[in-house]
Each structure stands twice: as structure tokens, then as C-alpha cells.
Amino acid sequence: MVEISRKRHGLGSEHPLCDRIQLVILVLFFVIWGIDSLCFFIFGYSTVLFGAVSVPVLFIPAVVFLGLGLYLVTKSHKAVFDEDHSQRGLIDSGVYALVRHPMYLGILVCCLSFLFFSVSLLSVGIWMVFFIVYDRMATYEEKSLIQMLGEEYIAYQKRVPKWFPRLH
């Protein structure tokens, strides 16, 4: 888990299969997205709706989501692994003040950006599975954080949304 930090060791209690699950689902997402997109461009048949919407309309949100996802991943990684945390504790500033799982959200948003490049309906389904898996991993990790930090983390959960930042 990324919310707990020790200098250069920003992990609290991750899901035991976190890395493997992420790798498998990320590879699955890009393989399906790639095959579906390739089938559209080579054979003209797939679940891609690329021709239904003009390219600039798709390209702009794709770039925005890719940038946002990379920003979240970079800032959350830096907050956990690069900053000096002399005492182990909750990180609740920066991107962690916006959402409780900015690394996971950043990866999801990056993958979402690829959906705008081809509008593959099959990939949308895989992305939804990806989101559900991340949500379950995050829930698992939050239970561990509640055991470790108690009321401090519960107050953080009440103050900061899990996935979607509040617009104030």
C-alpha cells in the first residue's frame, strides 16, 4: 500500500498478489486493445468505433487522460518513495489529499486514454474489469491500513474520496 511510508520503502500492506495481478490485467488490457484495434485497421471488423467519432474529438481527451494519469502516478510515486519521511505515517498531502489511491487511479486513467485512441468496446469491458480488480485490491489494503493506523486512517477515508476527487 502506498499511503504508509518509510524512507525509500513506501509500502504498508499491499495485496499479496498486487504486482502479479496488475501485470496480468495490464498485459490482458493491452493485448485485447491491440488485437481489437489491429483487426479494425487490417480487416475492417472489430468492436472499434473509431469511424463513429472524428479523430480530433478522440485525440484531445486521450492526451488529457494520458497526461493526468502520468501526473498521478509520478506525483504519488515521488510522495512515497522519493521524499524523506523520518517517521512512518499517513501521507495525506499532495495527490493523496485528492484521492486515496492516486497510483492505482493514475494507471487506470492512462489505460482509459488508450480507449480514446481506438474506442474499442471490447477494451472498455476489460477496463471495467481492471477497475473492479483495483477497487478490490484497494479495499483489501485499506483494511490493513485501518488495523495499522486506526482512527487516523478512518478520518482520512471520511475526508478524502477513494477514487473520484471532489470538485470544490
More confident residue, 69 or 87: 69
**Per-residue pLDDT at 2 exceeds 50:** no
pLDDT tens, 78-101?
988 776 655 667 888 999 999 999
Kindly report which listed range (12-26, 43-57, 59-73) carries the lowest average pLDDT score.
Answer: 43-57
Does residue 132 sit in helix, strand or coil?
helix
More confident residue, 9 or 154: 154
**Per-residue pLDDT at 52 exceeds 80:** no
Q: Are 85 and 6 in contact (CB under 8 A)?
A: yes
Q: How far apart are the first and last CA of the chain?
A: 27
25 vs 129: CA distance, rounded Å: 9
Among 29, 2, 61, which residue's Cα sits nearest to residue 130? Answer: 29
* pLDDT at residue 49 in the model: 62
* pLDDT at residue 57 in the model: 76
Does residue 100 sit in helix, strand or coil?
coil
Mean pLDDT of the region 22-44? 81
Give Cα 94 distance to the centre of its chain. Answer: 16
Does residue 69 sit in helix, strand or coil?
helix
**Per-residue pLDDT at 157 exceeds 60:** yes
* pLDDT at residue 121 in the model: 77
More confident residue, 122 or 130: 130
